[in-house]
Amino acid sequence: MGKVLGRKFKLAAAGFTLVELLVVVAIVLIIVSGIVTVGGTVRTQAKIRNTESTIRLLESALTEYNNYKSSFPPGCGDEQYDFVTIVQDRTGYFGEEGDHAIAPDTWGTFAGVDLNRLLAARASVEILYFFLDQVPDCQKYLSRIAEEYKTNEDGDSLKVNDVFVPLIEVNDAWQRPIRYKVFLTGEDFPELISAGPDGLFYTADDIISTEMQL
């Protein structure tokens, strides 16, 4: 209590009022939310750049393959994920029958509405990698793909000359397979497609080789 000219008064209480504290808390939450949003955007952009880099390396390997073979490796459609059962016969032709090893219990390791397309993408890029790896000039580009993006999650392999060769899939930065798409004419340069951040093919955030900026 204080006293001025004989009158008593109360000293003002120190600190913030409840309203002021709530305003401060709200401001802090807005700032934190902005930081989280910006951080998420930065991480997504980094993954997009890494995926584009992987796709460009595959494109370069495909160019070398085409220069060497005057053709492109075969691909598969959205539903043809059993394409991984192919093996090489004595003529070098790849067909749908033959000796092969596959791990069916782990083959369907994806979940969601795009399961068949993801399986088809895995099958297509496994076969693409297998073919590219047979050409020495392609190997220098394959070796530059980050090891974390090259996996064999389903544990399948191809029997060639009595040796089982692991079928390696190349993934994007979200660890989902990059799809290898061959056009029906067989003449146009194939497409390499990542399903992008949402993991769904044929949506606006797909990362497509033919639409990437140089």
Give residue-wise pLDDT tens across range 95-107.
444 434 343 444 4
User: Which residue, among 142, 156, 150, has the nearest Cα to 86 in the 3D structure?
Assistant: 156
Instruction: Give residue limits of the domains in the chain.
Output: 34-211
3-state DSSP: the chain helix, strand, coil percent, rounded to 5? 45, 15, 40
Residue of higher predicted confidence among 88 and 203: 203
- Whether 87 has a pLDDT exceeding 50, the answer reads no
Q: So what's the pLDDT on residue 55?
A: 97
Give the type of residue at 37.
T
**Do 117 and 154 touch, CB atoms closer than 8 A?**
no
Do 165 and 158 form a contact (C-beta atoms < 8 A)?
Answer: yes
Alpha helices per DSSP H over the chain: 18-69, 104-107, 115-132, 136-142
Q: Give me the percent of the chain exceeding a pLDDT of 70.
A: 71
Q: What is the pTM of this model?
A: 0.71
Q: Which of 28-37, 57-66, 120-129 has the lowest mean pLDDT?
A: 28-37
* Inter-residue contact 196 to 47 (CB < 8 Å): no
Q: How many CB atoms are located within 10 Å of the residue 196 CB? A: 22
Band (pLDDT 50/70/90 cuts) for residue 89 is very low
pLDDT of residue 95: 41
At residue 112, the pLDDT reads 60
Could you tell me the pLDDT band of residue 183, with boundaries at 50, 70 and 90?
confident
pLDDT at residue 106 in the model: 45
- By CB atoms closer than 10 A (0-12, 13-18, 19+), residue 202 is exposed
